[in-house]
């Protein structure tokens, strides 16, 4: 009886919170903003982000602080829902934290490769200060790869990144380091789903994560072929764990001699046919847009609390990415129409 009540609370609460998402009118108004302050002011005055942005000085806020505030709200929403769904908190909380940790570590590697000597800012990661095992202040001062490895002592990232220590003054193998970190992350989440969830919950969770990984691999294969001229042997070493795609399909994509060949191989699959129906998708956006479509469906129709909760988190992340995209578009003086094309959330894909 208690489990049933808890499940109903999660389903109702997550869907209620999702109902407070940005609507088409909100996106229209946000696209009219011309500064970060105007975006923050609108979100504070007219949306569910009001509490997260309370006390913000709109004429002083910058992109990093805004992103930190938005992510802090997401952490709060997640914690609120996990009070009723402890299985998610027990098994998925580290996944979301690790994803953010990896982003900062990779940002640090880019700075090392670029020879940046000054201390780096980390405001958008400040919300993790009580959750993460990383010391962001120490990492922000890292100048060499050896310093990075020392800063990561006592974390699983140290062992994963040790093989990429550069030699003879060469740059860090960023692609290899990125692959090692994300392969470990997604392998871990697949193991969690396989070991701790069953029936419809397991099936739907696999649908969410498999689709993302398969489409991410599709994007990566094309980029490695067209941008870097990589051959099949190199490409195989830089892919995420394969999701639902068969080994034959993956090999066809890896071995294809053109972007059209890779696309043709994916188009013969169910996930490929669905992905290519998404309108206006740039190559890099396909995994996120497909993830958005799947999670929109599950938050409305799934009867499994874990799936609804995870869908809510991914949908919120997509909305936050859209807000930051709008801010970046303003920064680079893109027109509202140009910015609109870059947005992920289906609610934002409206005609001018």
| Tens-binned pLDDT, residue by residue, of the chain (352 aa) | 335 667 788 899 999 999 999 999 999 999 999 999 999 999 999 999 999 999 888 888 888 889 888 988 888 888 888 877 776 767 788 888 899 899 999 999 999 999 887 776 665 566 676 778 888 889 889 999 999 999 999 999 999 999 999 988 899 999 999 999 999 999 999 999 999 999 999 999 999 999 999 999 999 999 999 999 999 999 999 999 989 999 999 999 999 999 999 999 999 999 999 999 886 668 888 999 999 999 999 999 999 999 999 999 999 999 999 999 999 999 999 999 999 989 998 444 444 3
Q: Which residue intervals of the chain are DSSP H helices?
A: 2-18, 24-30, 36-46, 63-82, 86-114, 136-139, 145-151, 156-161, 174-196, 199-226, 232-236, 247-255, 259-267, 270-275, 286-301, 305-331, 336-340
Chain centroid to CA 123: 18
> Which two structure tokens, joined as six digits, stand for 350?
């409206």
Q: How many residues does the chain have?
A: 352
Model pLDDT, residue 122:
64
H or E element in which residue 292 lies: helix 286-301
SS3 of 162, please? Answer: helix
Structure tokens at 338: 């140009």
Rounded CA separation 310/163 (Å): 33
CB 252 within 8 A of CB 265: yes
Task: Give the integer Cα–Cα distance in Å for 307 and 279.
Answer: 26
Residue 101 makes CB contacts below 8 A (sequence gap 6+) with 128, 132, 133, 134, 157
CA dist., res. 342 & res. 285, Å (int): 8
Element (H, E) at 349: none
Nearest to 116 by CA among 159, 145, 157, 91: 145
Complete DSSP assignment for 76-143: HHHHHHHTT-HHHHHHHHHHHHHHHHHHHHHHHHHHHHHT--SPPP-GGGGGGTTT-SS-HHHHTT--
- CA atoms of 130 and 322, how far apart (whole Å): 26
Taking a C-beta distance cutoff of 8 angstroms, is the pair 186, 209 a contact?
Answer: yes
Tell which residue, 55, 19, 53, has the closest CA to residue 39: 53
Identify the burial level of 240 via C-beta atoms within 10 angstroms of its C-beta, where 0-12 means exposed, 13-18 middle and 19 or more buried.
buried
Q: How many CB atoms lie within 10 A of CB 17?
A: 17
CB 100 within 8 A of CB 128: yes
All residues at 6 or more sequence positions from 137 whose CB lies less than 8 Å from its CB, including other chains: 122
Domain locations in the chain as residue ranges:
88-196
| CB-CB contact of 139 with 102 (8 Å) | no
Q: For the beta carbon of residue 2, count every other beta carbon within 10 angstroms.
A: 6
Residue 199, sorted as left (phi over 0), alpha (psi -120 to 50) or beta, turns out to be left
Per-residue pLDDT, 348: 42
Assess contact for 205 and 306: CB atoms under 8 A: yes
Q: What is the predicted pLDDT for the residue at 152?
A: 97
């Amino acid at each position: 009886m208690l489990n049933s009540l808890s499940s109903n609370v999660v389903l109702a609460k997550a869907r209620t919170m999702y109902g407070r998402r940005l609507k088409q009118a909100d996106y229209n108004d946000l696209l009219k903003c011309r500064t970060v302050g105007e975006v923050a002011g609108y979100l504070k005055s007219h949306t569910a982000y009001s509490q997260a942005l309370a006390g913000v000085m709109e004429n002083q806020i910058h992109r990093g602080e805004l992103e930190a505030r938005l992510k802090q709200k997401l952490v709060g929403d997640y914690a609120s829902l996990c009070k009723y769904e402890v299985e998610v908190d027990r098994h998925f909380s580290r996944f979301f934290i690790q994803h953010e940790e990896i982003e900062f570590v990779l940002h640090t590697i880019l700075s090392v490769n670029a020879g940046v000597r000054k201390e780096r800012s980390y405001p958008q990661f400040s919300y993790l200060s009580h959750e993460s095992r990383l010391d962001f202040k120490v990492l922000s001062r890292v100048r060499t790869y050896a310093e990075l490895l020392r800063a990561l002592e006592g974390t699983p990232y140290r062992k994963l990144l040790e093989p990429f220590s550069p030699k003879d003054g060469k740059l860090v193998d960023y692609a290899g380091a990125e692959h090692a970190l994300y392969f470990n992350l997604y392998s871990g989440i697949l193991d969690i789903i396989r070991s701790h969830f069953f029936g419809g919950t397991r099936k739907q969770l696999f649908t969410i994560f498999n689709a993302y990984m398969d489409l991410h691999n599709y994007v990566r294969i094309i980029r490695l072929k067209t941008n870097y001229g990589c051959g099949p042997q190199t490409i195989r070493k830089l892919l995420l764990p394969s999701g639902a795609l068969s080994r034959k399909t993956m090999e066809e994509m890896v071995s294809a001699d053109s972007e059209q060949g890779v696309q043709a191989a994916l188009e013969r699959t169910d996930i490929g046919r669905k992905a290519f129906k998404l309108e206006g998708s740039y190559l890099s956006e396909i995994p996120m847009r497909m993830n958005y479509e799947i999670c929109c469906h599950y938050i409305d129709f799934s009867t499994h609390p874990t799936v609804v909760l995870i869908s809510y988190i991914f949908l919120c992340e997509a909305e936050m990415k859209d807000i930051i995209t709008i801010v970046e578009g303003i920064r680079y003086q893109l027109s509202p129409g140009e910015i609109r094309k870059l947005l992920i959330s289906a609610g934002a894909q409206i005609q001018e």
